[in-house]
Amino acid sequence: MKLSPDAISTLLTSLFPSETIDDLARECEVVMRDRKVDPRMLVWTLAVGFAVGGEARSIADYRRAYNAATNQSIVASSFYDRFTKQLHELLRELLEHALDEVAVPHTLTPEFDRFRDVIATDATVFRLNQFLTEFKATHEDQSGVMLYLVHNITEQSVISDEITDEKNHESTLFKTGSWMAGRLFLFDLGFFKYRRFALIDENDGFFVSRLKESSNPLITEELRTWNGNSINLAGKQVFDVVDDLHRKYIDVEVEVSFKRRPYDGVQSYSTKQFRVVGVRNEDTDDYHLYITNLPRTEFIPREIAALYRARWEVELLFRELKSQYSLDKFDTSKEHIVKIQIVAALLTLVVSRAILRLMVDHAEERDEDCTFPRERWATTFRSYAQLILMELAELYEYPSPNIPELLYQEAKQPSPARMTLLEEVCADLYAGSEA
């Protein structure tokens, strides 16, 4: 059975019902007195139309997408006036509303089913073309915006996000707590901290991280026996002996010490036992070393290395935002417009993933063994984004676009008195001949 023509618009309007958009718009004081700009279509233009723009996306691009979908000719000043701090708050509220609603069924390794979720955290930094003091960078006279994401790899969704300046360290944005129970967290070296690992363990969560060389933990026990005259590792530190080893895997228990948070002005110290595993890379003749609390009885070193490779998913997510949606190309002098664009990009991801889930479910209903590669899906979604936006406008009873009239209104010179370059040249030549 084929999908119905209105399947996508029905799905999206159930994700963001008109009443929800209107109610949140009032709560956030997104006031549109003359109602020339429909708040529902403005939201959809940002959430879907973000994928339509080119490399140097601007408010003018959004306005053209809005006009094309609604068959209107909203003037630039009227449309620009809608991009306020209140609009950013509205989009944030809608993003929070949607994050729990979108989940794409995973087709990953069965080992993932052992966990409630598999989570990767990371941050990316991008420069602004104009200097904004609100987004301080590590380089003088530059602005750097950091986007921090907590990515649910299992469901291919974003759990939470934060927008800050480049000088904030990404590691400080990660919050520990009871929400970790049953989840597996995959960290790169930017999040390496023994206290963080201990808190995950104490909250019944799991973690895998690359092992930082400067940590050099003490080996207390070998968890795997080797035949022959092998080196005894107990009592040695990992990086002191790793270069002397030639075994395929390393699997040891280590003891680490760390500072607890001060309590009533008193600083306490703790120790923990974790597991360090290594998988030899025959091409480079060295080890990929990981620290984890995953039990040896359930996960061998090779499986831990395979699980960790899933962390690349969050890197692919950032690459999608930058390569497919040009997230790193902003040219504005206003902080709230930068934030509006970033949240619009995240809403675009939410919408894209919601439609992707529809495609996956439909494939299962048809018993078709097919997959939807990430970059192919993002490219396809971008290609059809304007059509999706126009379908949503039709659902809101906007007329089909009068394309010739839209082209006429958009392409003509907004100031009749302003001359074109050719007219200026001709005027100068005429003035010169008169002299």
3-state SS assignment for residue 208: strand
Query: Has residue 345 been placed in a domain?
Result: yes
The residue with tokens 């990660």 is 174
Rounded CA-CA distance 23/429 in Å is: 60
Rounded CA-CA distance 74/409 in Å is: 10
Per-residue pLDDT of 130-144, as tens digits, reads 667 677 666 666 677
**Tokens standing for residue 333:** 């002098």
Query: Has residue 421 been placed in a domain?
Result: no
Query: Has residue 240 been placed in a domain?
Result: yes
Same domain, 348 and 285: no
User: What average pLDDT does range 5-24 have in this prediction?
Assistant: 90
Query: Has residue 66 been placed in a domain?
Result: yes
Minimal CA–CA distance to 256: which of 289, 227, 212, 219?
219
Confidence at residue 324, expressed as pLDDT on a 0 to 100 scale: 72
* φ, ψ at 300 (rounded to 5°): -85, 165
Per-residue pLDDT of 299-332, as tens digits, reads 989 889 888 888 887 777 777 777 777 666 666 7
Query: Has residue 111 been placed in a domain?
Result: no
Q: Which domain covers residue 372, as residue numbers?
A: 7-101+329-411
Mean pLDDT of the chain: 83
Q: How many domains does the chain have?
A: 2
Query: What is the pTM for the complete model shown?
Result: 0.71
CB 42 within 8 A of CB 421: no
Check residue 104 and report its DSSP letter.
Answer: P
Confidence at residue 87, expressed as pLDDT on a 0 to 100 scale: 93
3-state SS assignment for residue 155: coil
| Dihedral angle of Cα 50, 74, 34, 23, to the nearest 10 degrees | -20
Minimal CA–CA distance to 275: which of 204, 220, 214?
220
Confidence at residue 56, expressed as pLDDT on a 0 to 100 scale: 52
Same domain, 35 and 77: yes
Confidence at residue 187, expressed as pLDDT on a 0 to 100 scale: 92
Same domain, 285 and 228: yes
CB 345 within 8 A of CB 369: no
Same domain, 262 and 333: no
Same domain, 271 and 211: yes
The residue with tokens 């691009």 is 61
**Tokens standing for residue 423:** 């007219």
Query: Has residue 425 been placed in a domain?
Result: no
The 3-class SS string of 257-273 reads: EEECCCECCECCEEEEE
Rounded CA-CA distance 17/2 in Å is: 25
* φ, ψ at 47 (rounded to 5°): -80, -30
Per-residue pLDDT of 373-422, as tens digits, reads 878 888 899 889 999 999 999 999 998 888 888 777 777 766 666 666 66
Greater model confidence, 91 or 169 = 91
Query: Has residue 313 been placed in a domain?
Result: no
Residue 349's pLDDT band (boundaries 50, 70, 90)?
confident
Q: What percent of the chain has pLDDT over 90?
A: 26
* φ, ψ at 32 (rounded to 5°): -130, 85
**Tokens standing for residue 420:** 């074109």
Rounded CA-CA distance 201/388 in Å is: 45
CB-count exposure of residue 97 (10 Å: 0-12, 13-18, 19+): middle
Query: Has residue 395 been placed in a domain?
Result: yes
Q: Is the pLDDT of residue 353 over 80?
A: yes
Confidence at residue 410, expressed as pLDDT on a 0 to 100 scale: 76
Distance, C-alpha 363 to centroid of its chain: 26
Point out which residues pair with 163 in neighbouring strands: 147
